[in-house]
Each structure stands twice: as C-alpha cells, then as structure tokens.
C-alpha cells in the first residue's frame, strides 16, 4: 500500500495541480479536524486519506521552507516531494514523541543538508553551473531585496532561528527541539537576529530616502545653466 501511495498522493493525476508558493494551501477537499499527529498515526495504520490530508496541509509550507533556502524553484519542488516520500517510507516507524510539524521540518532539514552537500561537491569538482537562477529575482520590490540581502548577512544559526520563527511560524519550543538548542538560547538568539536585521535595514532605508530626496531636489531646482532669465524694464 505504501509503495503505491506516492503515485496517489504526489502524481498530478491524483490531486489537482496547484502552483507551490509561500502562501498557505487551499485544500482540495474539506480539511479534517483531526490533529497532524492523529492523522500520521492513522496513516501508519493504513489510512491513505490521512496522508492526503497531511500533504494538503503542509505541501505549501514545506515548499516555502526550501524556497527561502535555495535558489532553484524546480529543485525546491523536488526537495518538497522528497520530504513527503521520506514520511511515506518511515510511516510505520513514526512515534508522536514531538509535534508532527517538528518531525516534518526535521526531515526537511536532513534533505536540505544532503542537497547542500551534493551542491558543494558538484561545485568543487565540476564548477558552478552558469544557469543558476538569481535568488533576488524572487522578490522584485526594492524593500524585498533589502530584507533578503540583510537576512543573508546574519549569523547562520541566528538566520535559521529567524526564518523558522517568522516564516515557518514555529514556537520557541519547536525551534529548540528542531535545532537541539536550549529554549532560552533560541529566545536570546532570535532577539539578537531581529536587532541585527533592524540595524542592517535602517541604513538602507535612510540611504534610499536620501537618494530620493536628492533626486527630487535636482528636478525641482534648475541648475545655474538652466536658470530662467528674469524680465526687466530698461530705463
């Protein structure tokens, strides 16, 4: 049964195709009131519908997780599907020791690390591909570029904590479990990340404001060579 589920759950013929993005998914059928943990346990006992429900609940958030950490949207789709395939194969070993969401992102993290190792290996031995998409094109707005570039300058762990809290919306306890850190460390590093991000963004905002003001002055005030002559009366 589990061997047939990938075709049922992930095949475009089985579920209505929906574009993946960072927004919450619109379910293809009414969602169940059961918890994620209950659904995963039900799936481990043979309920394919339970896994379909989990897939619909979490496919967009998982895609967003990879989209914010890699540069290739097509690869992000593959990594997202690989995450759910791991859940399929490990279903009969699942134990609800933690929240399902923590378990899900732990799987995603392992897949992300493996992907980064492969990418680093290929870059070392075969060079960097010339067709890697530019991640800054994901958000064409000027403010979006400032935020992305500022986030990339944060300490690696601080950046990860910030993303998990602000985008994945995990609790402090979930982040602590996922990253194997004390919860107080998560709190302090999140505060540090937010402060650093604010400091990184403020100079950009001031600079952009000054440039805009300067441009406006140049348009409003004519230069010396463009001064409009004053009409006078000769006596």
What's the domain range around 160?
139-217
Give the residue-averaged pLDDT of 91-118: 90
Is 151 within 8 Å of 197 (Cβ atoms)?
Answer: yes
User: What is residue 70's DSSP assignment?
Assistant: -
Domain assignment of residue 234, yes or no: no
Residues 149 and 211 in one domain: yes
The domain total for the chain is 2
pLDDT at 151: 86
CATH number of the domain at 154, please. Answer: 1.10.10.10
Residues 96 and 159 in one domain: no
- Of the pLDDT bands very low, low, confident and very high (cuts 50, 70, 90), residue 126 is low
Nearest to 24 by CA among 52, 56, 53, 50: 56
For every residue of 138-205, DSSP letters joined together read: G--SHHHHHHHHHHHTS-HHHHHHHHHHHTS---HHHHHHHHT--HHHHHHHHHHHHHHHHHHHHHHH
> What Å distances lie between residue 106 and 71, 110, 154, CA to CA?
20, 6, 22
Residues 143 and 100 in one domain: no
Domain assignment of residue 92, yes or no: yes
The model's pLDDT over 205-215, given as tens digits with 9 standing for 90+, comes to 545 545 544 55
Give the residue with greater pLDDT, 161 vs 92.
161
Residues 44 and 92 in one domain: yes
**pTM listed for this prediction:** 0.67
Torsion angle of the four alpha carbons 142, 145, 149, 152, in this order, in degrees rounded to the nearest 10: 150
Domain boundary among 118, 148, 167: 118
């Amino acid at each position: 049964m589990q061997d047939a589920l990938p075709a049922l759950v992930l095949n475009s013929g089985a579920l209505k195709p929906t574009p993946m993005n960072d927004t919450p998914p619109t379910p293809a059928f009414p969602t169940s009131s059961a918890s994620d943990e209950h659904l995963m346990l039900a799936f481990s006992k043979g309920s394919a519908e339970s896994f379909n429900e989990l897939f619909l609940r979490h496919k967009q958030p998982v895609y967003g997780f990879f989209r914010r950490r890699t540069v290739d949207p097509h690869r992000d789709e593959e990594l997202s599907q690989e995450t759910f395939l791991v859940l399929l194969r490990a279903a009969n070993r699942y134990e609800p020791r933690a929240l399902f969401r923590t378990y899900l992102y732990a799987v995603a993290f392992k897949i992300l690390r493996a992907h980064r190792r492969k990418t680093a290996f290929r870059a070392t031995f075969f060079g960097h591909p010339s067709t890697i998409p530019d991640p800054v094109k994901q958000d064409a707005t000027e403010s979006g570029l400032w935020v992305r570039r500022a986030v990339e300058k944060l300490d690696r762990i601080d950046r990860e904590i910030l993303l998990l809290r602000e985008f994945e919306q995990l609790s402090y306890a979930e982040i602590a479990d996922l990253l194997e850190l004390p919860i107080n460390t998560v709190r302090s590093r999140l505060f540090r990340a937010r402060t650093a991000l604010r400091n990184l963004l403020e100079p950009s905002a001031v600079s952009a404001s000054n440039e805009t003001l300067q441009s406006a002055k140049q348009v409003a005030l004519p230069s010396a060579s463009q001064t409009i002559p004053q009409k006078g009366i000769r006596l």
